[in-house]
Amino acid sequence: MPMADELTYPLAKAVLAAYAAGEEDEALNPLVLADGDGRPVGRVKAGAYVIFYNIRGEREVELSQALTDPGFDEFQPHGGFGVNLATMIQYSPRLPARVAFPPLEELRDTLCEVACRSGRRVVKVVESEKAIHVNYFLNGKRTEPFPGEERVIVESHRDVALFDERPEMSVAHVADATLEKLRDPACDLVITNFANIDVLGHIENPEAIQRGVEAVDAQLGRVLAAAREAGVTAVVTADHGTAEKWFYPEGSIDTGHTDSPVALAIVGAEGITAEAAPAVGGALTDVAPTVLALLGLEAPEAMTGRALVPRGPGGRVLLLIVDGWGVQPPGPGNLISQAETPNIDALLQGNPNTLLAASGEAVGLPQGTVGNSEAGHLHLGSGRRVPADRLRIAEAIADGSFLQNEAFVWAAEGAKRDGAALHLLGIVSFFSSHGSLEYAVNLLELCGRRGVPEVYVHGLLGRRGERPEAGARYIGDMEAECERRGVGRVVSVIGRHWALDREEHWDRVQKAYDMLVLGKGTLVRGE
């Protein structure tokens, strides 16, 4: 892909101007290309074809609903609006969409399924910002709870633009709900997620991150004390790293996920001492078999991970997921080590503990890639390595089958046949858990080969894991790519904060919808 040596293309320049005015990629307000008469270009109209090329999926559902459902009424689109949608992966089985890479099979025999099938009562406690990970991904991408599974969702704050305004988030309320379940002897397995470190680690505010880490540490202390009092064995771990590796090698700030290992510590298990620590060299796939062993249950054959403790007579267990807590040596780039964390320190000094791989091939991702919340929770619950959609897509691009994919061909040929526009919508990033601009480039190739006359690109930005101001460069690269190929135009850009909501913040989704459909945003004259 050609690189834009100078950010001279109209939307790239507009993104740079937004940076200068104090905006950043994640919450970038909509920018819309305009023609010589000042009218927005490339609006999504009823009957148009849209390829939403993001992966992962849980953040893409709401915008997809607004674009496809004629009866949608969460805000006021014009009546009867609906597009022909193709998606990279299945965002929801309820969406009327052609899916390019559908699920291969239902993932069975996960941690919660095995525990519930054995008659254990499972309770999950999480704030809404991370509910999808604990309730959906941890269950092997199953939406409905298993018989015997209870879900307690604590509402995340809705009165903040970004969570650095309230770094403590709802962690104290999550801890309160966990304490209530620990005191109930009928709850056999309690699974709790503390969201702060991951959520705040994506925001360039080290003071807020420190406050969030210290809030997590304080609540971890409360929960572990209650577990000891109730005679519950606690397994404390994480899904991936974030704030412990804050700088790129050259010194710029990295707000993305990391390739760090995560800790696993066991508190209160009878007969397991700090001197007899679990085996070193494990991965997140070992967590589910370990929890089952502590419950006194045998792991199913499908779980290829290994239990880090011997199977015992069984008892009650707490699995506490400290989201985003990676492990690195103390130093200026480790924001976790700079916070006051007496409870985390005591956890790792006085209890059996080890390090687990949480990135790359260990969690079904390409070699050398960072971990993420989807893969992390999926592998915590599955107890086996699950190939990521990203790998399937990369293989399809490499062997050329991507350009023959039935869903993409359906959209391209349908747009030609109906005299409609084809819109490419998705993340514009070198690497994101939601996808890559490589997908957009290959879709442009497909459109060129099939002679689609009217193609528009709508870019979503989010700096997670990217260097400062990378978004403007990527938009410029896409504008240059369209020009080089003579296919398509980049016609709008918006921050992923607005477009990729997952908690029914419909005012955010409407901002993205209005940009796509009505052309609302800062108008940028094309050249």
| Residue 303, domain CATH | 3.40.720.10
326: amino acid identity, one letter: G
127 shares a domain with 50: no
Q: What is the pLDDT of residues 449-472, one digit of tens each?
A: 999 999 999 999 986 666 778 889
Q: What is the per-residue pLDDT for 368?
A: 86
Last residue of a domain, one of 350, 385, 420: 385
Same domain, yes or no, for 350 and 403? no
DSSP summary character for residue 40: B
Residues 118 and 94 in one domain: no
**Burial label, 454 (beta-carbon count in 10 A; 0-12, 13-18, 19+):** middle
Bridge-based pairing of strands 233-237 and 262-267 is: antiparallel
- Could you tell me which residues come within 8 angstroms of residue 159 by beta carbon, excluding any fewer than 6 positions away? none
Sheet with 262-267: strands ordered across = 149-154, 122-127, 189-194, 317-322, 233-237, 262-267, 353-357, 282-283
Dist. CA 402–CA 408, nearest whole Å: 8
Cβ-based neighbours of 157, under 8 Å, separated by 6 or more: 163, 166, 169, 170
Q: What pLDDT is recorded for position 277?
A: 52
pLDDT grade for 261, boundaries at 50, 70 and 90: very high
In a domain, 4, yes or no: no
Where is 253: in which H helix or E strand?
none
Q: Could you tell me if 320 and 362 lie in one domain?
A: yes
Are residues 170 and 240 located together in one domain of the fold?
yes
Domain extent at residue 51:
10-102+391-525
Q: Does any domain span residue 241?
A: yes
The tens digit of pLDDT for each residue in 228-250 reads: 999 999 999 999 999 999 887 77
Q: Report DSSP state, residue 112.
A: H
Question: 3-state class of 107 per DSSP?
Answer: coil
What does the H/E/C string look like for 192-241?
Answer: EEECHHHHHHCCCCHHHHHHHHHHHHHHHHHHHHHHHHHCCEEEEECCCC
Same domain assignment for residues 359 and 244: yes
What is the pLDDT, as a whole number, of residue 80?
57
How far is the CA of 245 from the CAs of 43, 240, 265, 347, in angstroms? 41, 11, 21, 21
Q: Do residues 31 and 526 lie in contact, with contact meaning Cβ atoms separated by under 8 Å?
A: no
CATH number at residue 396: 3.40.1450.10
CA 454 to chain centre: 32
Based on the fold, state whether residues 354 and 455 are members of the same structural domain: no
What is the dihedral sign for C-alpha 463, 466, 467, 471?
negative
In a domain? residue 5: no
Residues 52 and 140 in one domain: no
Q: Provide the number of structural domains found in the chain.
A: 2
Determine phi and psi for 121, rounding to 5 degrees: -95, 125
Q: Where are the alpha helices (DSSP H) in 56-143?
A: 61-68, 111-117, 131-132
Q: What percent of the chain has pLDDT over 70?
A: 94
Residue 144 belongs to some domain of the structure: yes
Across the range 186-191, mean pLDDT stands at 98
398 and 380 fall within a common domain: no
pLDDT, tens digit, 9 for 90 and up, residues 364-418: 988 888 999 999 999 999 999 998 888 889 889 999 999 999 999 999 999 999 9
- On whether residue 1 sits in a domain, the answer given is no
What three-state secondary structure class fits 30? coil
Residue 326 contacts residue 241 (beta carbons within 8 Å): yes
This prediction's pTM? 0.75
Residue 275 has pLDDT above 60, yes or no: no
Is residue 2 assigned to a domain? no
Say whether both 412 and 443 belong to one domain.
yes
pLDDT above 80: residue 76 = no
| Whether residue 251 sits in one domain with residue 185 | yes
In the predicted structure, residue 259 carries a pLDDT above the cut 90: yes
Are 122 and 257 within one domain?
A: yes
- Cα–Cα distance list, 453 to 10, 88, 129, 410, 527 (Å): 22, 22, 41, 15, 20
* End residue of a domain, out of 385, 406, 433: 385
| Distance of alpha carbon 333 from the chain centroid | 23
Q: Identify whether 230 is part of a domain.
A: yes
Query: 495 and 28 in contact (C-beta within 8 Å)?
Result: yes
Q: What is the pLDDT of residues 510-520, one digit of tens each?
A: 999 999 999 99
pLDDT of 2 reads 40
Whether 253 maps to a domain, the answer reads: yes
**Cβ-contact 356, 238 below 8 angstroms:** no
User: Which residues are CB-contacts of 373 (< 8 A; sequence separation ≥ 6)?
Assistant: 130, 133, 137, 198, 239, 240, 323, 433
Closest CA relative to residue 478, chosen from 442, 505, 514, 517: 442
Q: Is there a contact between 407 and 88 (Cβ–Cβ < 8 Å)? A: no
Task: Please state the φ and ψ torsions of residue 88, each to the nearest 5 degrees.
Answer: -65, -45
pLDDT, tens only, 122-179 = 999 999 999 999 999 999 989 899 999 999 999 999 888 888 899 999 999 999 999 9
Instruction: Indicate the residue among 340, 370, 385 that finishes a domain.
Output: 385
Whether residue 278 is predicted with pLDDT greater than 80 in this model: the reply is no
